[in-house]
Amino acid sequence: MRYFIEIAYNGTHYFGWQIQPNAITVQEVLEGAMSSLLRNQIKLVAAGRTDAGVHAKQLFAHFDFEEIKDLDHLVFRLNAFLPKDISVKRIVSVKDDAHARFHATEREYEYVISLKKDPFFEGFTYLLHQKPNVDAMNVAAETLLHYQDFQCFSRTNTDVKTYHCTIHKAYWRVEEDRLIFTISANRFLRNMVRAIVGTLLNVGYAKTSLEEFHAIIASKNRVNAGSSAPANGLYLTKVLYPEELFTA
């Protein structure tokens, strides 16, 4: 049978989601816990991979195993077994051909900036001491919806076949002493959101004009875009699927 597992994690102490040599990752820790409890080698296929230090409020992965009689009890046991910075929200049975990565229709990220030092946000936001022009950043962010090729915001030397993404929404909002950027798309390139945030901040600080922002996208060259914003302010917040996948 095939199952979807929904998890959340604080990515501070991990080198991202995907297993890699000589580095601790969320996938490695979760697969190890599941394999121990189910007494079988479990392999997870996730909706996507987050970079080192990036957090996730919602990420789905799928795995195959025999029928599990009490999924809620397995969730309880996993949460007791896992470290405090990884949480399993639920495990649900899905159709046999359901794929956590290929069947995801939309992914949403948030990037959180603090404008005032706050010990309770330490490690979870990017601290800035000068507020950028949010209106200017929102004008630039809205233009992202009119493009599809985002090679200028992609990590170089990546193995993707296309740099095309369909962005559904991209906007900033102010919440007390925080700026929150929300962006959703059918897919994202590696480092894309952090590169977009860094470039939008250049717009907010009047280092990049709106015309130059358009030119950066048209150039398809990562060198022309802004520096990537730090990983600790980035959260994968939502992954959406067709409802019929969950009617196993």
> Could you report the per-residue pLDDT of 218-245, keeping only the tens digit for each?
999 999 999 999 999 999 999 999 988 8
Rounded to an integer, the average pLDDT of 166-192 is: 96
Q: What confidence category does residue 158 fall into, taking pLDDT thresholds of 50, 70 and 90?
A: confident
| Arithmetic mean of pLDDT, 159-186 | 94
The average pLDDT across 68-73 equals 94
Q: Taking each helix axis from N to C terminus, what angle separates 192-204 and 210-219, rounded to the nearest 10 degrees?
A: 150
pLDDT of residue 248: 57
The ranges assigned to domains in the chain are 2-102, 106-237
What SS3 state is found at 218? helix
**pLDDT, tens only, 15-36:** 999 999 889 999 999 999 999 9
Q: How confident is the model at residue 159 (pLDDT cuts 50, 70, 90)?
A: confident
Residue 211 has pLDDT above 60, yes or no: yes
Q: Which residues are within 8 A (CB) of 239 and not within 5 positions of it... i.e. 6 or more apart? A: 47, 48, 58, 59, 60, 104, 106, 107, 108
The predicted structure's pLDDT at residue 94: 95
Domains 2-102 and 106-237 share a fold: yes
The CA angle 222-105-90, to the nearest 5 degrees, is 110
Instruction: Examine the pLDDT at 115 and tell me if it is beyond 90.
Output: yes
106-237: CATH topology: Alpha-Beta Plaits (3.30.70)
Classified by CATH at the fold level, domain 2-102 comes out as Alpha-Beta Plaits (3.30.70)
pLDDT band of residue 247 (cuts 50, 70, 90) is low
CA pair distance 50, 86, nearest whole angstrom: 14
Catalytic residue numbers, as ranges: 51
